[in-house]
Each structure stands twice: as structure tokens, then as C-alpha cells.
């Protein structure tokens, strides 16, 4: 069940989906969404499949999101018809993954942004590494955090979700674990071993990941957690901007400048 941009395999009791579009940092296409959905549907009814692994094949990055060039071309060439279909089917895939009965393990070993977040966060197990760079950067193109971003971000504590949604800030692997966006942290060099162990013992995923040595460095964003909670406390953008403007803190000035480049 292989296509050009996605590889789908079965290893015993484990289904395996690998994004395979390295030149575009594995950005999702409509065909990729369809292939993933079809595989998940098939495995949902297969008693021989106990778990699913989701990762990327060759090249850096887990998934850079949706195919922005495709969406732009749709707007220019077909009045956005194919673009709307992409969003509809992508969101259907997100919902399918959120409600999937069998555990999915996402290895976020690299850039995980936009649509990549949309297919990673629904997974029961989300493994970050030192290569992870997670963000919801939609306000940079005049959009909003979609693919379930509003659901996931609104459940983070300390107004962190508000901060991430408005600024599009990037989190590294340690920060993802601290924020609860990742469930586990492993050095990238141990990812292959983790997959092999899961394939060998798909009924012990939590134990396998927890037993592997993977102590993350300190989450740098933790140092600014109080500032995020204070400045991004309001539900009104005007209040957030005013709070940042009133501060003489260098961090506040930086984030205020960032907001000025966005269209939330």
C-alpha cells in the first residue's frame, strides 16, 4: 500500500506509516491524507493490528504542515475548490486519529508544524527528540491554528496555548515535554531502537518508552512561564498588546514585535 509520498507497512502486529516527501519536509498532500486514512480504517478492523507507528522516512523534519503551494495554486486556478477539499479531508483525518481506538505512536523527530501538529497531537504517545521544533505558525499567513489546534492549545496551562497561537513560537523537544505536548523524550539516536522494541512488544508501548533512558535538558520556556501567564491572561488581543507595551522587559518587547508581524 505504498504511494510516492507515503510508505505504509505492517510489521507483525504493528502498522507503520512513514511520511515520505523529504523535499517538502514531508508536508501533507491530499493523497497523503487519503492514504493515511485508508490504512487506519483497514487496521481499525484488523484484530491482528495492536498499534500504529507514525514517523517520517528519509530527510529532516517530521511534517512541516499542509502544502501551502498547493493551496495558493488552488486559490489562483480553481477558485479554491481543491483547497477546500484538502482542508475538509485533512480535518476528517485529524478527527479519525483523535477517535482511533488503537494506540498510535508519533515520533516527532524534527520540524512538526501546522498540519504536522494536527497528525501528531491526536496520537496517544508523542515522542520528542532534540531535533523537535513544534509550532502552530498559522497567524503568520493570516490564518488561525486549525487541525485541532484550538482544542489542543486551549487545554495547556498558564496561558501557554494563547501565547503559542498568537506568536507561532517554536518549542523544542524538552519544551514540548514540559508543556505536555509530548508524552516522552528520547535522544534521536535512540528512536530506531524504540521503534524496534515497540514492534517486538506492541502491548507494552508505555513501558518500552518509559524504560529507555532519555532525560531532556531544562525547558527554556519555563523561565518565561510567569511572563506568559501574566501578559497573555486576557481573552482580548488589545489587552495583551497593551500589557506587553506597558512592560520594559526585553522579552515583552520581543514578543510585542512578533505580534506586529502576525495577523491573528
Tell me if residue 61 is catalytic.
no
Q: Could you report how far apart the first and last alpha carbons of the chain are, in Å?
A: 40
Full set of structural domains in the chain with CATH: 6-215 (3.90.226.10), 218-255 (no CATH)
Tell me if residue 189 is catalytic.
no
Among the listed residues 15, 65, 83, 115, the single catalytic one is 115
Residue 1: the pLDDT is 45
Among the listed residues 5, 138, 172, 255, the single catalytic one is 138
120's enclosing H/E stretch is helix 115-120
Tell me if residue 66 is catalytic.
yes
- Helix (H, G, I), strand (E, B), or coil: what is residue 185? strand
Over residues 90-105, the pLDDT tens digits come to 999 999 999 999 999 9
Residue 60: the pLDDT is 84
Lowest-pLDDT range of 60-64, 90-94, 218-222: 60-64
**Alpha helical stretches, state H, 134-184:** 149-153, 160-167, 173-179
How far apart, in whole angstroms, are the C-alpha atoms of residue 130 and residue 242? 35
Among the listed residues 15, 65, 66, 161, the single catalytic one is 66
Among the listed residues 146, 172, 175, 255, the single catalytic one is 146
Residue 66: the pLDDT is 87
How far apart, in whole angstroms, are the C-alpha atoms of residue 221 and residue 223? 5
Cβ proximity of 217 and 176 under 8 Å: no
Q: What is the pTM of this model?
A: 0.94
How far apart, in whole angstroms, are the C-alpha atoms of residue 48 and residue 14? 8
Q: What is the DSSP letter of 63?
A: B
Amino acid at each position: 500500500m505504498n504511494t510516492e509520498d507515503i510508505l505504509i507497512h505492517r510489521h507483525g502486529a504493528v502498522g507503520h506509516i512513514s511520511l515520505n516527501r523529504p523535499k517538502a519536509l514531508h508536508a501533507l498532500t491530499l493523497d497523503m491524507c487519503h492514504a493515511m486514512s485508508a490504512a487506519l480504517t483497514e487496521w481499525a478492523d484488523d484484530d491482528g493490528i495492536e498499534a500504529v507507528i507514525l514517523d517520517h522516512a528519509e530527510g529532516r523534519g517530521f511534517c512541516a504542515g499542509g502544502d501551502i503551494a498547493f493551496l495558493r495554486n488552488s486559490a489562483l486556478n480553481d477558485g479554491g475548490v481543491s483547497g477546500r477539499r484538502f482542508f475538509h479531508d485533512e480535518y476528517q483525518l485529524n478527527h479519525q486519529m483523535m477517535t482511533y481506538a488503537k494506540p498510535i505512536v508519533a515520533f516527532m523527530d524534527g520540524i512538526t508544524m501546522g498540519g504536522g501538529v494536527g497528525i501528531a497531537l491526536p496520537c496517544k504517545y508523542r515522542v520528542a527528540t532534540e531535533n523537535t521544533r513544534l509550532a502552530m505558525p498559522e497567524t503568520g499567513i493570516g490564518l488561525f491554528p486549525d487541525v485541532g489546534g484550538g482544542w489542543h492549545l486551549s487545554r495547556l496551562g498558564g496561558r501557554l496555548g494563547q501565547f503559542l497561537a498568537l506568536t507561532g513560537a517554536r518549542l523544542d523537544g524538552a519544551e514540548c515535554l514540559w508543556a505536555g505536548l509530548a508524552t516522552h523524550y528520547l535522544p534521536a539516536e535512540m528512536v530506531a531502537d524504540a521503534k524496534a522494541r515497540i514492534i517486538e512488544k506492541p502491548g507494552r508501548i508505555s513501558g518500552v518508552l518509559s524504560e529507555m533512558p532519555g532525560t531532556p535538558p531544562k525547558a527554556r520556556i519555563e523561565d518565561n512561564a510567569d511572563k506568559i501567564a501574566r501578559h497573555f491572561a486576557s481573552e482580548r488581543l488589545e489587552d495583551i498588546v497593551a500589557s506587553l507595551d506597558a512592560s520594559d522587559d526585553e522579552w515583552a518587547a520581543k514578543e510585542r514585535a512578533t505580534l506586529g508581524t502576525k495577523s491573528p
